[in-house]
Each structure stands twice: as structure tokens, then as C-alpha cells.
A = this chain, B = another copy of it.
Amino acid sequence: MQFRTSLELGLLIRRARRARGMTQADLARAAGVGRQWIVAIEAGKPRAELGKAFQTLAALGLSLSIHGEGIPEPPSSRVRIAVPDIEAVVGAHQDPES
């Protein structure tokens, strides 16, 4: 699921927390932050600390991925495909006299 703002991130964290039956206090303890901080991040606070956000995602077992120009692609989309040598194929089917 894609997202681009702290507000969206907050909603996703809340969803994941509830899906695990955790309370804000539970998550706060698991992530090593104050309960108040969880309240803030779930509300989409944009000036929250980046590091604590990572801790929180880790505590929820969530993983982030990023993609775009200049970002390495995952191996699965880099599978090598045998590319036929067009000239050779054409040559093999050509009239020997042409």
C-alpha cells in the first residue's frame, strides 16, 4: 500500500495496531516511546521523529519499501531473460542465395 504523507502513515499505523489487538500503551511500550507520541503519530503529526517512526513500524512488524529513479529494483524483477540474436535467427532462415 502506497502513501506519501504523515497523515496516511498515521492511519496505517493505527490500522495495523488495531489489527493486532494492541492498545496505544501496548504499542508505545513495544516501540520504546511514550504513549503520547503514539497518539501524535496516529494523528499524523508531521514533525515527529523519524527514528521513532521506524521503531514503531518495527514493533508492528511492518516493512517499508521505496521505489523510483535511482533506486535498485528487487531481484524478482531483474530476472535474466534470454534474448535471441535476431540477426542470427533471420540469417538461418534466409535464402542462401540472397
Interface residues of A in 1-24 (CB under 8 A from B): 1-6, 9, 12, 15-20
A64, B53: Cα distance in complex, Å: 14
CB of A69 within 8 A of CB of B61, answer yes
The verdict on A49 contacting chain B, using a C-beta distance below 8 Å, is: yes
Interface residues of A in 42-72 (CB under 8 A from B): 45-51, 53-54, 57-58, 60-72
The verdict on A96 contacting chain B, using a C-beta distance below 8 Å, is: no
CB of B46 within 8 A of CB of A1, answer no
A37, B71: Cα distance in complex, Å: 21
Contacts from A to B (Cβ < 8 Å): 1-6, 9, 12, 15-20, 45-51, 53-54, 57-58, 60-74
